[in-house]
Amino acid sequence: MYWPVRLASILAAVGGCFLLDALARGVDDYARRLIVLAGIWVILSVSLNLINGITGQFSIGHAAFWQVGAYTAGYLSVTFHGKWGIDGLPWMILMMALGALMAAVAGLIVGLPSLRLRGDYLAIVTLGFGEIIRIVVQNQKPLGEAYGMNVQPKFQTVWLVWLMAIVCIAVCRNLLRTAHGLPFLAVREDEVAAGAMGVNVTQVKVTAFLIGSAFAGVAGALLAHYEGFISPQMFKMEQSFIILTMVVLGGTGSITGATIAAVALFYLPERLRDAPPVTGAALLGGLIGTIVAVVLVKRTVDRFHGPKIGAATRYIGSVVAGIVLSLALGAGFGMIPKLASQSFEAEKLRMVIFAGVLIILMLIRPQGILGTNEFSLDWVKSLLRKRKAVEA
């Protein structure tokens, strides 16, 4: 039964990607671009999850590997495309492979300090490394300096991006489905104990960095050939933080969580572009309403130990109370001319919202939305079983 199941799932994945591609032809360019970028963010988030969530190495410069992949593909395309006698998909595959390779080399360079550094110190090194790469690129003439570079040929397909996202998810999931994933988790849990049990901690960490950064490199090559243009601005520190937020929000270590959070955190702020500007009154009202809702939810988490249904009612009640309070306060503050006249563009509040979401999460559910759970039939079954047990 192994091969039939395996082949069927591979066919389903490829078929699904082409179906998505076909559907995406029906929507406008802007919407199609969102679908592609969402796939790229999924690759970034899931690949950082391997380093950060699964192996527990606090790397926060993931955008650097993305950039290395993008610039490798961009530079090689500009320089060599048309000279090696390949084009189209084969060229794209070559660019992805080389982008992955270069990013993996960068990952190795960053992975090496992780052998000695832990926690915050590693975070600082990865962050610094990310900035170094960006600034070095910014000063290279052949790479277009701060302006950036045009990338030819463009390769704009939805299916390839999402197929790569699925490959990235599958690789991580396969790792965790076999015994080979356990040393990675063991390193996250306790390096000393892992070493004492024969786990080659060095090798595990470097492998995590290699695979994680290689996939970020693939995401870079895909981005470069989709946009047809890359610049250092696209890989700022802010982007690394967004990827990190996706991993943390989804539940550190959960591949499902990283995937869902990537789509949600990419898509929701995009909606803000169309949103009307908010007034100071609404902002202040919303802030206070949110704080109240968070406090109420937190009280439920900390003190309420009744059945799940009762808890759910309380959560919903808290959120509704927060929204009502926000609206009421917003209207109330609207009476104050100074607050009513001030306005903020919704899009500019993106990072504020990200920060807010993270703070709320740390307060209410520090393990992330999904914790270390993965979506699977077994998981759903066990949830249902628990619920029955509580009701009984």
Residues at the contact surface with another protein, assessed by CB under 8 A? 2, 6, 170-171, 174-175, 177-183, 185-186, 189-190, 192-201, 207, 211, 372
Q: Which is nearer to another protein, 27 or 193 (CB)?
A: 193
Q: Which is nearer to another protein, 196 or 377 (CB)?
A: 196
CB closer to another protein, 192 vs 392: 192
| CB atoms inside a 10 Å sphere around CB 46 | 32
Nearer to another protein, 206 or 297 (CB): 206
Place of tokens 């989709």: 226
Q: How far is the CB of 303 from another protein (least distance, A)?
A: 22
**Is-contact 212 13, C-beta < 8 A?**
no
Q: Provide the 8-state DSSP code for 61.
A: -
**Cβ(17)–Cβ(155) below 8 Å:** no
Least distance between another protein and beta carbon 179 (Å):
4
User: In the chain, which ranges are continuous DSSP H helix?
Assistant: 2-24, 29-49, 62-80, 88-111, 119-138, 158-177, 182-189, 191-196, 201-227, 237-250, 255-272, 280-303, 308-333, 337-341, 350-364, 377-391
> Beta strands 278-279 and 343-344: pairing type?
antiparallel
Shortest spacing between CB 15 and another protein, in angstroms:
19
What type of residue is 105? Answer: V
Q: How far is the CB of 94 from another protein (least distance, A)?
A: 21
Residue among 11 and 336 whose Cβ is closer to another protein:
11
Smallest gap from residue 306 Cβ to another protein (A): 21
What is d(CA 392, CA 390) in angstroms, rounded to the nearest whole number? 6
- Closest contact distance (angstroms) between CB of 169 and another protein is 12
Among residues 387, 363, 370, which one has the least CA distance to residue 302? 363
Report, in Å, the least distance between residue 372 CB and another protein: 6
Nearer to another protein, 181 or 334 (CB): 181
Measured from the CB atom, the residue of 200 and 313 that comes closer to another protein is 200
The two beta strands, 149-150 and 278-279, are unpaired
Residue number, 50 or 297, with CB nearest to another protein:
50
SS3 for 392?
coil
Cα distance between residue 257 and residue 244, in whole Å: 12
Task: State the burial class of residue 154 (Cβ atoms within 10 Å of its Cβ: 0-12, 13-18, 19+).
Answer: middle
Structure tokens at 195: 């070493």
Query: Shortest gap between Cβ of 148 and another protein (angstroms)?
Result: 34
